[in-house]
Amino acid sequence: MSEKKIYTTKSTEETFRLAQDLARGIGQIPLAVGLVGDLGAGKTVFVKGFASAFGVDPDQVNSPTFTLVNEYPTLKGFSIYHFDLYRIGPSDLYTLGWEETVGRKGISLIEWVDRAGEYLPEVSLWINIRHLGGDEREIEISFPGSSIG
């Protein structure tokens, strides 16, 4: 049982705003958001838009490729944790504070969540971005826990 919505965006800004709008409707903390999609699909753009809804400066949001996780404090008393699993294997996850963080505090946004293997967390929001060519992207948002659909 899950609800699914599919959008097509035609620019970086449109993806940014879609994520921002989605984030504005979030009522549930802690929250884990999984992002899937090829390199250059727009996962980081999506995270920027999402985090901006909580007052985080999008220029501060970058894929934590070398730091493994970035923490962005919000004005709401919780942090946003930005993971990117592109370069790490499931066995590295314990060094990231994965278990204590994902789904336990604040909002976790996880790029390449499909690489978490056996540590795949229970995500409440699943974002799948597909490159359609040029600046066009198909963005599928699913809510695995939803009773609708």
* Interacting residue ranges for ligand ADP, rule: CB under 6 A: 9-12, 14-15, 37, 39-45, 63, 111, 135, 137
From Mg ion, ligand ADP, none, which one binds at residue 74 (CB under 5 to 8 Å depending on kind)?
none
Helices (H), the chain: 12-24, 43-52, 98-101
Q: Is 43 in the site for Mg ion (CB under 5 A)?
A: yes
Least distance between Mg ion and beta carbon 3 (Å): 25
Closest residue to ligand ADP, Cβ-based?
42
In this structure, which amino acid lies at residue 43? Answer: K
Q: Are 143 and 124 in contact (CB under 8 A)?
A: yes
- Which residues, in sequence order, are CB contacts of 123 under 8 Å at separation 6+? 32, 33, 34, 103, 110, 113, 144
Q: By C-beta, is 43 or 93 nearer to ligand ADP? A: 43
Per residue in 91-114, is it b (16+ CB within 10 Å) or e — as a string? eebeebbbeebbbeebbbbbbbbe
Least distance between ligand ADP and beta carbon 143 (Å): 21
Least distance between ligand ADP and beta carbon 47 (Å): 8
**Residue that the structure tokens 């705003």 belong to:** 17
Q: By C-beta, is 37 or 121 nearer to ligand ADP? A: 37
Least distance between ligand ADP and beta carbon 14 (Å): 6
